[in-house]
Amino acid sequence: MTSTVDALGDQRTPRPDPERVARWCAAQQWPVFPLAPGRKIPMPGCRRCRHNSPAYEPHPARGCPCLANGGWCHGFYAGTLDPALIARWWSDPRRGVAVATGPARLVVIDVDRHTTTPPEDPETALLPGLTLAPAQAASVRDGVDVLRLLARHHRQDDPVAGELTLTVRTPSEGIHLWFRAPARTRWYSSGGGDHRGRRLGWQLDVRADGGLIVAPGTTTACGTYRPIGPVRRPALLPVWLATALTATGHLADEPPPTAQEVKVPNRARAAAAGVPDQHPARDRQGWAQQSAATVLEAVAECGRVSEGAGWSAAVNRAAYTLGGLVAGGHIPQPAAHAALLEAALGARPHKESAALSIIRSGLAAGTRRALHPKDER
Ligand SMILES: [Zn+2]
Ligand SMILES: [Zn+2]
């Protein structure tokens, strides 16, 4: 059994062994594939599968026979948990390890610290959907500052201190925050460059479906990706980040809503996406996060006792409250549903159908009574 510190290394480990890193990732159920020596791009595929080869034959990656034959063609499509394949691929220890974030059910926030000039209209361009105060916007130097502003907007602690989740420092001083995707949710990677397509914020890149992330412990020509802080496992994607990712278009419509899921007004989602950065709004959002956290914690609490312990009642109460927050426009419905299901199954892993049914009726009941902070009623 490989211990995490042995596998991933820490500040004192000069260069962790890539095969052990790959085995540790596979043990977390994260499909791995090799990186070109010294680089953070996948090993090039065979002549037939490589786009820039004269022998290239256009074909879809899915179903490519190379993958069935244990080849690493097509980058993250090759991701594997197979110990024999891992032993073969990393027989050359110069190859780094990458994780296929989509099938690993991971959402990784890649926080850059590039010394590029901030956008010209920083108040609105640093964080899409939010309008920052000029002083706040002017204080931003890099992605770490942007993520801290986003966290503060949601009244959260410093997210890059290493306490929140598995946190990895990159050789270029960037930060990777690793999270688990909530059950039954699928998240898109950020698209295109800084100013095109889907994005969470300036110098903030999202790696999820269709993405890859360099595994902690991997060494490239620039240095080693080092886990920092005490946490070595990804936390569940927190509600505040799920909310921000939903508002910026990163939540996929799939898996499609089942008949069991409730319909809520689109207005709620739109309202959550457009909360302006003013004090009353910020207080409102903090209040909503706190209300949600309190009832979800009560559900998690049931997991510490084996049976009974009012699990159904706690799930129902949480669903009712979150339904009210959804209807009030404080939390997006998919984030509420995902958070509820995750908390319910975290406490009682084998009760998925009961959980879905209680969440459905609780959310439906809650959405008939929108919740607002006391002073606004
Ligand atoms: Zn091939
Ligand atoms: Zn191929």
32 belongs to a structural domain: yes
What would the DSSP string read from start to end of 255-279?
Answer: SPPPTTSPP--HHHHHHHHT--SSH
Total domain count, the chain: 3
Q: Is 98 helix (H, G, I), strand (E, B) or coil?
A: strand
* Residue 138 CB-density burial (10 A; 0-12 exposed, 13-18 middle, 19+ buried): exposed
pLDDT, residue 285, reads 64
Q: Are 234 and 110 members of one domain?
A: yes
Residue 281 class from Cβ within 10 Å (0-12 exposed, 13-18 middle, 19+ buried)? Answer: middle
pLDDT band at 2 (very low <50, low <70, confident <90, very high): low
Q: What is the structure's pLDDT at 39?
A: 96
85 lies in the same domain as 48: yes
pLDDT digit string (tens) for 158-184?
A: 999 999 999 999 999 999 999 999 988
> How open is the CA angle 128-129-134, to the nearest 5 degrees?
80
What is the CATH number for 179? 3.30.2250
* Cα–Cα dist 160/361, whole Å: 37
pLDDT tens by residue, 341-361: 878 877 777 777 888 889 999
pLDDT at 338: 78
How far away, in angstroms, is 64 Cα from ligand 1 center? Answer: 7
Q: In terms of domains, do 292 and 365 share one?
A: yes
In whole angstroms, what is the distance from residue 184 CA to residue 105 CA?
10
248, part of any domain: no
Give pLDDT, residue 377.
Answer: 45
Boundary residue ending a domain (38, 66, 96): 96
Output the average pLDDT for the chain: 85
- In which domain, by residue range, is 324 found? 266-376
How far apart are the CA of 93 and the centre of ligand 1, in A? 22
Residues 10 and 132 in one domain: no
Within a 13 Å sphere around the CA of 134, how many CA atoms are in the beta-carbon half? 0
Tell me, yes or no, whether 71 and 176 share the same domain: no
Share of the chain above pLDDT 90, in %: 58
Q: How far does residue 34's CA lie from ligand 1's centre (Å)?
A: 14
Q: What is the pLDDT of residues 6-47, one digit of tens each?
A: 788 877 778 899 999 999 999 999 999 999 999 999 999 999
Shared domain for 154 and 68, answered yes or no, is no
Q: Which pLDDT score, from 0 to 100, does residue 284 have? A: 67
- From the CA of 46, how far away is ligand 1's center (Å)? 4
Strands 167-169 and 96-100: unpaired
Quick one: pLDDT at residue 347?
78
- 257 inside domain: no
Q: What tokens appear for 127 in the block?
A: 């964080």
Q: What pLDDT, on a 0 to 100 scale, did the predictor assign at position 266?
A: 33
In this structure, are residues 138 and 122 in contact, taking their beta carbons and an 8 Å threshold?
A: yes
Q: Does the pLDDT value for residue 375 go beyond 50?
A: no
10 Å Cβ neighbour count for 141? 12
Residues 226 and 321 in one domain: no
How many Å apart are CA 252 and CA 263, to the nearest integer?
A: 17
Instruction: Kindly state whether residue 254 falls inside one of the protein's structural domains.
Output: no
Domain boundary among 96, 115, 146: 96
**Ligand 2 centre from 54 Cα, in Å?**
14
Asked if 231 and 110 sit in the same domain, the reply is yes
pLDDT in tens, 232-289: 999 999 999 999 999 999 998 876 333 333 333 333 333 333 333 334 555 666 777 7
**pLDDT on residue 48:** 94
- Give yes or no for residue 142 having a pLDDT over 50: yes
For 67-82, give the DSSP string.
HHTT--TTGGGG-B--
In a domain, 249, yes or no: no
Decide: pTM greater than 0.75: no
How many angstroms separate the alpha carbon of residue 79 from the centre of ligand 1? 14
CA of 182 to the centre of ligand 1 (A): 34
Distance from the alpha carbon of residue 19 to the mean position of ligand 2, in angstroms: 24
* Domain co-membership, 234 together with 279: no
In the reported structure, the alpha carbon of residue 82 is separated from the centroid of ligand 1 by a whole-number distance in angstroms of: 18
The domain boundary, picked from 66, 96, 126, lies at 96
CB contact set of 35 (below 8 Å; sequence gap of 6+): 41, 42, 43, 95, 96, 97, 98, 214, 218, 220
Q: Do 213 and 276 fall into the same domain?
A: no
Location of structure tokens 């691929």: 89
Q: Which ligand is nearest to the CA of 47?
A: 1
Given a cut of 80, is residue 367 above it in pLDDT? Answer: yes
Same domain, 150 and 205: yes
